């Protein structure tokens, strides 16, 4: 008896959860041979790049941390470089020399027109200006390649700032802070998270059946990620002696961890249509796999209304007879009060049962195959409505209703 009381106390608060019930339609989807295997989350080689220092110097600061999302053009690190200090100082000097050489050329040209300066003097002035500008242009190109706009330079600087060359996530910090680096020292890795892939490990015979129509469903942390076939990798895994098949994960979230393993379902051709429901809709009920569907009660409600009306007439007649007998027998009045209370309690209990009536019924299904978040089943029709979320609540209501019947 204690077990039933405890169970009922747990079930009654569930009434407020009815809003969590979600109804969907069973769908007709293509289904092929389903293989269950393991897969490793990965990326293509070009998606992981190293950020390298392009000048020698002292690594003064990082502006990012591992796992941080960055946009193209964001600051990542700064290096104090004597080499950069010399380059910027030389560029500023050449800028002033260029101005002076330009003025000298213009002055020589005026004197040449007056016959004061020779043609040789003019040619030397032009050549001197061209040499300075050639050096200036070469140095400007070097500065621009480092991400520095030479036109913005007001004074010499040794602060070389590195910027993210693309959107992505910082992977690893490779160079220690305050260390000396050269022009080829990798500082960090930057991962492009737009595309993730899964390498599925299959028996060779199964791998040879995978075609471009193959679909995969990667299962990570109670979530399912659809994927499509890319190609069969040319070599087998040496440890497992299994073939490797590459799938691209559709709409890859940034929460996936590179290098981690997960379960994967792969559907192979030929395909046939099968009725599918959400995996969340399946539950064990009285020893069978079932899906809950809505129950229609139009006829039952009509019969209940007639029965309630008939009971009401009988109750009124019974009440009138007992009222007449009240004037003759006080003991009968007590019986009448007790009987009336019993009738009211029974009516309230019937109303409570009607309120607690479960509007769903279990439908036994036969599981054919699991495909990601869906399950192919027999026993339910395509487009038929079923409970896809809130199954635990429905099951609890049915159990509660069953316990109520035992109480009668």
Q: Per-10-residue mean pLDDT for the chain, 408 residues long?
A: 34 51 90 88 82 93 93 94 95 94 94 91 94 94 90 93 89 93 92 86 90 88 89 91 94 79 86 89 91 72 51 49 48 49 49 58 89 87 92 84 60
Give me the pLDDT at residue 309, please.
53
Give me the pLDDT at residue 305, please.
54
User: Within 10 Å of residue 71's Cβ, how many Cβ atoms?
Assistant: 10
Which residues touch 278 (CB under 8 Å, ≥6 apart)? 24, 373, 374, 375, 388, 389
Give me the pLDDT at residue 325, please.
47
CATH label, 32-46+195-271, candidates 2.60.120.620, 2.40.40.20, 3.40.50.300, 2.40.30.170: 2.40.30.170
Give me the pLDDT at residue 57, please.
95
Q: In what order do the strands lie in the sheet with 69-70?
A: 48-52, 186-191, 168-173, 69-70
Give me the pLDDT at residue 5, please.
30
Domain ranges, ordered by start, for the chain: 32-46+195-271, 55-191, 300-356
What whole-number distance in Å separates Cα of residue 73 and Cα of residue 162?
A: 9
Which residues touch 165 (CB under 8 Å, ≥6 apart)? 49, 51, 72, 190
Instruction: Give the DSSP letter string of 331-356.
Output: HHHHHHHHHHHHHHHHHHHHHHHHHT
């Amino acid at each position: 008896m204690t077990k039933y009381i405890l169970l009922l106390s747990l079930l009654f608060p569930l009434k407020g959860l009815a809003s969590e019930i979600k109804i969907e339609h069973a769908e007709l989807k293509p289904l092929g041979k389903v293989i269950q295997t393991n897969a490793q989350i990965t990326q293509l080689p070009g998606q992981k790049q190293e950020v390298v220092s392009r000048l020698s110097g002292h690594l003064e600061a990082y502006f990012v941390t591992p796992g941080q999302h960055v946009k193209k053009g964001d600051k990542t690190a700064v290096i104090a470089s004597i080499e950069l200090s010399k380059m910027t100082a030389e560029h500023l000097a050449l800028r002033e020399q260029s101005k002076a050489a330009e003025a000298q050329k213009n002055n020589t040209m005026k004197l040449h027109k007056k016959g004061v300066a020779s043609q040789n003097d003019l040619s030397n002035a032009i050549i001197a200006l061209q040499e300075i500008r050639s050096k200036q242009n070469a140095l400007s190109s070097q500065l621009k390649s480092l991400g520095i706009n030479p036109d913005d330079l007001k004074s010499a600087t040794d602060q070389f700032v590195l910027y993210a060359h693309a959107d992505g996530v910082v992977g690893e910090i490779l160079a220690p802070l305050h260390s000396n680096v050269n022009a080829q020292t990798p500082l960090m890795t930057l991962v492009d998270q737009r595309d993730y892939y899964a390498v599925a490990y299959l028996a060779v015979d199964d791998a040879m059946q995978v075609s471009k129509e193959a679909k995969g469903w990667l299962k990570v942390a109670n979530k399912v990620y659809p994927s499509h076939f890319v190609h069969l990798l040319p070599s087998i895994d040496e440890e497992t002696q299994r073939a490797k098949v590459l799938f691209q994960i559709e709409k890859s979230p940034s929460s996936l961890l590179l290098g981690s393993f997960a379960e994967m379902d792969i559907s192979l051709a030929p395909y046939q249509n099968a009725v599918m429901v959400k995996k969340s809709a399946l539950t064990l009920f009285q020893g069978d796999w079932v899906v809950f569907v809505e129950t229609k009660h139009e006829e039952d409600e009509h019969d209940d209304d007639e029965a309630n009306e008939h009971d009401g007439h009988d109750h009124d007649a019974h009440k009138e007879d007992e009222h007449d007998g009240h004037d003759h027998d006080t003991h009968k009045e007590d019986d009448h009060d007790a009987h009336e209370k019993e009738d009211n309690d029974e009516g309230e209990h019937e109303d409570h049962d009607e309120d607690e009536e479960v509007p769903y019924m279990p439908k036994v299904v036969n599981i054919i195959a699991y495909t990601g978040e869906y399950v192919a089943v027999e026993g339910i029709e395509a487009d038929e409505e079923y409970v896809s979320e809130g199954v635990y609540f429905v099951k609890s209501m049915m159990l509660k209703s069953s316990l109520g019947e035992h109480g009668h």
